[in-house]
Amino acid sequence: MPRLHLHLLSDSTGETLEMIAKAALAQFEGAEVMRHFWPMVRSQQHLDRIMGEIASNPGVVFFTMVNAETRTRLEEHCRTLGLPIVPVLDSAVDALESALGQHPKARPGRQHAMDDAYFARVDAIHFTIAHDDGVGWEDWEEADIVLAGVSRSSKTPTSIYLANRGYKVANIPIVVESPPPPALFGLKHPLVVGLTTAPERLVQVRRNRLLSLNQAPETAYVDEDRVAKEVQYARRMFADNDWPVIDVTRRSIEEASAAIINLYNTFRGIREGAGQGGGA
């Protein structure tokens, strides 16, 4: 399969563009795509420099640009080079313009305005990074969600993804030889979620991790019987404490996070309902 160069140009941070490109590429399994990311393109001079790179690596161009002059210049360059160009938000904006009966505000990065939600998300990210891998257990009561699971069960990447969605997350490794702090079992505010995975899949992930670190891939860390007992120990802990469990064996980080968010929304609804009932 030939390699495709995909150029992503935005006059803002490009977060939206990256997510759209990732979602679209997920439909093409095995495709060899080289992504080139060009954020904060806000002048014609900057665009002209980038076009030299695009001309050297021709491919498909995705863009989100609200400045009419910069957009027109980009379109002209791509026509000259014979490159396909896709304004990824145009259809959505046109539909909303028609439905709302008003013109869109042409301001780069408008969707990323530094409002209260933005600062809450930054706060969540700081909290989550500071409470990774069992650190800072004294503050777990301040978390929205606490993830528990054996080593390499996707706790950290799932925590970071949830933090980017605005949730304060702590995570704790479940280790047979080192029980978690008692505070974990008395938490009131956060939802505790157990992450589990198939032992054979876990062995494969751990072995790949050791190889990436140039370490011997045959240790107790990847012993199949030992790993199976670890997973069983963790699942028993989850059941004993009535914590909901997410099996991440065949789930992507995004899918696992969506399931956790659904659990959290239900948990919060029940808690708020109980609080209202108590005040009646």
66 is in an annotated binding site: no
**The domain containing residue 24 runs over which residues?**
4-111
Same domain? For 152 and 269 the reply is yes
Decide which of 86, 111, 136 is a domain's last residue: 111
156 is in an annotated binding site: yes
Question: Mean pLDDT across the stretch 60-70?
Answer: 90
Q: Is the pTM of this model over 0.75?
A: no
Q: What is the pLDDT of residues 12-50, one digit of tens each?
A: 888 888 888 888 888 887 788 999 999 889 898 999 999
231 is in an annotated binding site: no
Same domain? For 45 and 162 the reply is no
Question: Mean pLDDT across the stretch 87-102?
Answer: 84
Q: What is the pLDDT of residues 250-266, one digit of tens each?
A: 998 989 999 999 999 99
Same domain? For 41 and 134 the reply is no
Question: Mean pLDDT across the stretch 219-235?
Answer: 95
On whether the CB atoms of residues 143 and 166 are closer than 8 A, the answer is no
Q: What is the pLDDT of residues 48-63, one digit of tens each?
A: 999 999 999 999 999 9
151 is in an annotated binding site: yes
**pLDDT for position 92:** 83
**pLDDT for position 279:** 42
pLDDT > 70: percent of the chain? 91
Q: What is the pLDDT of residues 145-161, one digit of tens each?
A: 999 999 999 999 999 99
Q: How far apart are CA 64 and CA 51, in angstroms?
A: 16
Tell me what the pLDDT averaged over the chain comes to: 88
Same domain? For 105 and 120 the reply is no
CATH (domain of 130): 3.40.50
Between 110 and 119, name the one with better pLDDT.
119
Between 39 and 234, name the one with better pLDDT.
234
**pLDDT for position 280:** 37
107 is in an annotated binding site: no
155 is in an annotated binding site: yes
Q: Residue type at 188? A: K
Give the strand order in the sheet containing 169-173.
Answer: 169-173, 145-149, 191-196, 245-247
Which residues make beta-bridge pairs with 56? none
**pLDDT for position 108:** 53
Same domain? For 106 and 230 the reply is no
- Calculate the alpha carbon distances from 108 to 16, 118, 122, 168, 214 in Å: 12, 16, 20, 28, 45
Same domain? For 99 and 151 the reply is no
Task: Point out the least confidently predicted range of 25-39, 176-190, 222-236.
Answer: 25-39
CATH (domain of 100): 3.40.50.10700
Question: Mean pLDDT across the stretch 96-121?
Answer: 68
105 is in an annotated binding site: no
For the chain, what is the domain count? Answer: 2
98 is in an annotated binding site: no
Decide which of 84, 111, 138 is a domain's last residue: 111
